[in-house]
Chain A
């Protein structure tokens, strides 16, 4: 440093260079960790999530590295949106990560392009304890391209502090219908003088209509990877939210400005809505953010429809890139993630209930109250007979975007639910059949 200054490089340029270097260093620390170097093989491991999830994952990775000398893991994490974009560019650039998080809706797009490794061809991965129904959710054309990180489903959470103050009884979730939910939500809004809305669920996320379609005897996505939902069902789904808004149970158009953020940013946490649909592996996070008095309920309509709508779904998947330079070591890491109880004790149910039942049993005593409620509910749901669920088709991300867009059009009354349903089917089918 001293030398540079005395050889006459103008101070301004030198300062500029220093600031640039500092900037580069800063931009490099966007999450991620690279524990002690020196191993023979370095694996690149990427996933989406928040810093809390990263902390738990780092702890598990440390155990993996201790158990597997000679392998170091360089991990990176991001929010799910930017994660998906970055993953695509990395694959396109021929520099994919070794082990990665895959979304249900993207699996087929990647698998059918030959970018993922067949996990059955890697003997390091022990599938003996993994239920066939779980494996099927990562299978494409008879090959296994993804394994669930854990199992989850959606549920309704209600803030009991609000309903108690308003003097509204929460209906029995074992038998409640969609009408019961609407009545309940409307009552909450009325009794709080319109300060708090009874319902605050997200119309535009596909997990809602998927369950709704199953209750009506339809498969949103079918076994042969097509769109199976009827126009009538989508119309009903939109119509339900319109009616609920008109009745006052659901907030007015434009109320929700940010959907899909962290539990702390949710409207449930802000206390402006009394209930919300969530992926229930996040129950703990929502409960902590919302004052600790949330109750976890089953979705409405489970006993009043044609059949059960629930399915035990992969919350996300683990995959290995076909181009990984270290498939053996990558397979070891993936095997660790699904089968190792010591690692699972660190991550608990962050990514759903572990798919290996032995691992799930092993971590059970370590779980807190909220996580136990989640695990128990997933188990209780699976006691009943559930209809099979399938891999999302190619084009599922376009379907998700289309749903979002049409939900907004319906919200602001720019289009009728009937027209929205018609457009939804047209656009989705076009994307899937392309």
Chain B
């Protein structure tokens, strides 16, 4: 985060300096402000589309709204029903496994590739783009469809395993493997944390490494004692973003299973189940309550991370 906040003092100073040459500067400032607000306008308008549904869903969470008739207030009934809903627990299980397996792996892969790319390769921009591309596409329908074929019974993965005489499992249709196939897909989209890591690595002053090599520190030691602490704010930022993103996974599960969360609910992500409740079973009240539970879960995990960060995140300034 140091990278992101470093510019802040300068910018603040620029804003605060209204000192000499008041008149001219004043009008310039007002003009700047006006265009600033103008540029912010789309965001404000966009917020309306977020804030209204946001509060509507909070209200609906306490009703039996079924999309077609007027909602009736039912108190905490939706939340009580959740406790006894086995599919809700299944969807939480799927989402948690997915998050806790794929986030650490994809962060590790992202950091590793960033370290490799940071060694002053020729044509860095090209490599960066190649590795970044999947994360732009990963959540898209086409790529998930492609994944289905790659991991299908006649796909290249099993074809490759077949060369060594291994009969690969049914990656997509076997409930024991389907989620791991999606985890691999998620790990493959390490591009956006990688780009952020790369930016972070470039900020680490080379003099530290020079000093360390003079002292005889090994590369691994340098990585552990210089690189990791100095980029720990970046790791922290990536961790939070990845965590939130993966709790909200929807497309991968929807496309892979044709909307069912199958085989046998093994890819029933929380958001996919929420969608099923709302739009195929018409229980929008329940679905709204689920949305708020997810918000609470994400908030709790983010809070835990912020508290834990005090013990391992190092801010240089």
Q: Show the binding face of A for B, using Cβ within 8 Å.
A: 81, 84-85, 88-89, 91-92, 109-110, 113-115, 253-258, 260, 397-398, 401, 404-406, 408-409, 412, 414
Contact = CB atoms under 8 A, between A and B. Distances in A.
- Which of B153, B169, B176, B282 has the most C-beta atoms of chain A within 10 angstroms of its own C-beta? B282
B68 A92 contact: yes
B260 A401 contact: yes
A397 B280 CA distance: 8
Interface in B235-275: 258-260, 262-265
B153 A404 contact: no
Contacts of B176: 412
A101 to B, nearest CB: 16
B67 A88 contact: yes
A162 B263 CA distance: 30
B280 A409 contact: no
A409 B170 contact: no
A397 B175 contact: no
Given A113-B66, A114-B68, A408-B262, A397 B174 contact: no
Contact of A408 (B148, B152, B175, B281): B175
A48 to B, nearest CB: 14
Contacts of B232: none
Contacts of B262: 404-405, 408
Contacts of A409: 175, 264
A422 to B, nearest CB: 14
Nearest to A110: B68
Contacts of B279: 85, 88-89
B106 interface: no
A114 B264 CA distance: 34
Contacts of A115: 68
A260 B170 CA distance: 18
Contact of B175 (A114, A398, A412): A412
Nearest to B151: A257
B153 to A, nearest CB: 6
B78 interface: no
A257 B152 contact: yes
**Contact count band on B:** 20 to 34
Contacts of A89: 67, 279
A253 B264 CA distance: 13
Contacts of A109: 282
Contacts of A405: 260, 262, 264-265
Interface string B62-81: 00001111000000000000
Contacts of A255: 153, 170, 173
A370 to B, nearest CB: 28
Contacts of B174: 253-254, 412
A6 B289 CA distance: 53
A408 B67 contact: no
B230 interface: no
Nearest to A270: B154
Contact of A91 (B67, B263, B281): B67
11 contacts: A81-B258, A88-B279, A88-B280, A89-B279, A114-B68, A253-B173, A254-B170, A257-B170, A257-B173, A397-B280, A408-B262
Nearest to A89: B279
B234 interface: no
Contacts of B281: 397-398
Contacts of B103: none
Nearest to B170: A254
Interface in B160-192: 169-170, 172-176
Interface string B281-310: 110100000000000000000000000000
B261 to A, nearest CB: 8
Contacts of A88: 67, 279-280, 282
A398 B279 CA distance: 12
Contacts of A84: 280
A288 to B, nearest CB: 23
A414 B175 contact: yes
A85 B280 contact: yes
B155 to A, nearest CB: 9
A256 B173 contact: yes
A406 B172 CA distance: 17
Contacts of A81: 258-259
A210 to B, nearest CB: 20
A93 to B, nearest CB: 9
Given A114-B69, A412-B263, 20 more contacts: A85-B280, A88-B67, A91-B68, A92-B67, A110-B68, A113-B66, A113-B68, A114-B68, A115-B68, A253-B170, A253-B174, A254-B153, A255-B170, A257-B148, A257-B172, A257-B173, A260-B258, A404-B262, A409-B175, A414-B264
Nearest to A92: B67
A297 B153 CA distance: 30
A88 B276 CA distance: 11
Contacts of B173: 253-257, 408
Contacts of A404: 260, 262
Contacts of A114: 68-69
A109 B66 CA distance: 11
A254 B265 CA distance: 15
9 smallest beta-carbon distances between A and B, as pairs: A254-B170, A92-B67, A113-B68, A408-B264, A408-B263, A254-B173, A254-B174, A409-B264, A85-B279
Contact of B264 (A110, A113, A260, A412): A412
Contacts of A256: 173
A406 B280 CA distance: 19
Contacts of A85: 259, 279-280
Contacts of B152: 257
Contacts of B169: 254
Contacts of B69: 113-114
A118 B66 CA distance: 21
A257 B264 CA distance: 13
A92 B278 CA distance: 11
Nearest to B281: A398
A406 B69 CA distance: 32
A257 B281 CA distance: 25
B162 to A, nearest CB: 15
Contacts of A110: 68
